[in-house]
A and B are shown apart, each in its own frame.
Chain A
Amino acid sequence: MQKTPNDTQPIIEARGVTKTFDGIEAVSGLNLTVPPGICFGLLGPNGAGKTTTLRMLYGVSEPSQGQIKIFGMDVGRNTRAVRARLGVTLQDNVMMENMSSRDNLFIHGRHHLIGEALLAQRVAELLEFLEIGADADKKVLKLSGGFKRRLSIAMSLINAPELLILDEPTTGLDPAVRHALWSKIRGLKGDGKTILLTTHYMDEAERLCDQVMIINGGKAIRQGAPRQLIEDELYPNALEFDCSSEEEQRLLEGASELVKLRTGTRLMVFAKDTEQILTRLQKLDGGNRRAAIQRPANLEDVFLAVTGTHLEDG
């Protein structure tokens, strides 16, 4: 075990990690390297193997094959030492509903064997950081979903972890709460923590993550910085509208340097310049009759493009 912090040593290093349940591979041959101080996003549709991957990383589930090192230590062999330095927010809010937020924080902290004086100080800090102080002594079952989510995150921060693992931190929350949580997560990254999160919200990933990995069917299919992935996979601008296949053919006839993506009647066209396609569309309609959206390409487009929605190069 290394005692001195080493800037070049990755926080997470997983090599060839495979997990098999009853002969079915939930995760297959995953390689993952997360350097210190970044926010890394594991993106994938439901059932892609995100949660299974996380469980292997914090040592609750043993990989069927491969090796996982966290802080340079083998997770299976140094489970307690690894978990002492990381925090996990599970997908579901698991807490003692009949107890207050303050009680929950104290009880969770004791599992980390934090001394009572330091624990009291951390609890006070976290209640303030996540702005839950006002209702700190109310029973958890009386609190809102957004409040419980903040408490879940606060619990995973009780041991001042170097690595924070967040499993779908904002699923099911309203937009205001999501924005508030995002700013907290950015704040934690600013404090030097390394963050690994899973999400199926691409806007969340684009806002928070320095690096993302898109996984589908247990396999990593793309990895990189969000902007880089958009550049690599698509063109910078998107035009989105409803049209039939015949109309599509007439519209895009002869056009080059574009990528199209269709879901049902909706067509998305990615190109350097979407203006000329819009002009053609208006000509076809004889005026500005059809609702068309012009916008920059985003990670969601990449995700749709690489996880299965039919993608054709034009």
Chain B
Amino acid sequence: MALPPHRVDYLPMADRPSIAWPNGARVALWIAPNVEHYEYLPPRDPARNPWPRSPHPDVQGYSHRDYGNRVGFWRMLDVLDQYDVTCTASTNLAVFEHYPDIGKAMADRGWEIMSHGIYNTRYLSSLSEKEERDFYVDCVETLRRHTGQQLRGMLGPAVSNTIRTPDLMSDAGLTYHADWLHDDQPIPIRVEKGRLVSVPYSIELNDVPVFLNHYDTEDFVAMVKAQFDTLYAEGATSGRVMALALHPYLMGMPHRIEGLEEILDYLLGHDLVWQTTASEIAEYFLDHHYDDFVAHAASINEATDAR
């Protein structure tokens, strides 16, 4: 039986088909710098205030994040280059218009650009169906115009969504959604037309909740290593996905950047790691495992319905 809102069937990790990643990899690792623009004077959204600290503008909050685009991104880029990482940049697509240097740096390296909306201060939550459909058209066209890339996936802008989001994403030609934290493997998401999967992202292995709370760089490094160790061990029987979510305004700080080096040293120092992009993970899963997962979920449903 699919859980309301009937997007996802229950598929317990202890009873599901095995995933075999390319070349015997145990962990598919995608690294997601969030390249964002928070507006100085965003439009008012009654449901969510991006700058609750003071009447707008909040120049301190704005600048803290703007630092990421001026300084942090470039420092992070040096480290990512050093390790030859192919990132999946979770990008507010207006970054291509405001900061073409950043857009070009990402495109030149062959990074996948994942939509993170247009701005991190414009949410989907209050949009009508028509407005949300137009939003996807804008995202797809903006990315194509600036990079020639076909948009494959989205992490909702500031992780906002509507209940319709998966259907409308699929209609717009996207194949994966990163807002589902429900699993360590890609999972089929039921949509009206087409096929959509979740590619697990992380809100815990993520520098925002870590560094906006009281944790230090060494705590983050320890978390990432522990996460990897567990998934790498489990991945011996069935492939796992690990997402590393980063923000240039936090991880790109001078007092933290060595933590990123330590993390990449550790993760990429293991042989059976498939360092790839979210869309590659989604595509591989769709080609090799999607049908098995759907069929197995149906058999579990059948068995439990019969009770």
Q: Do A and B come from the same complex? A: no
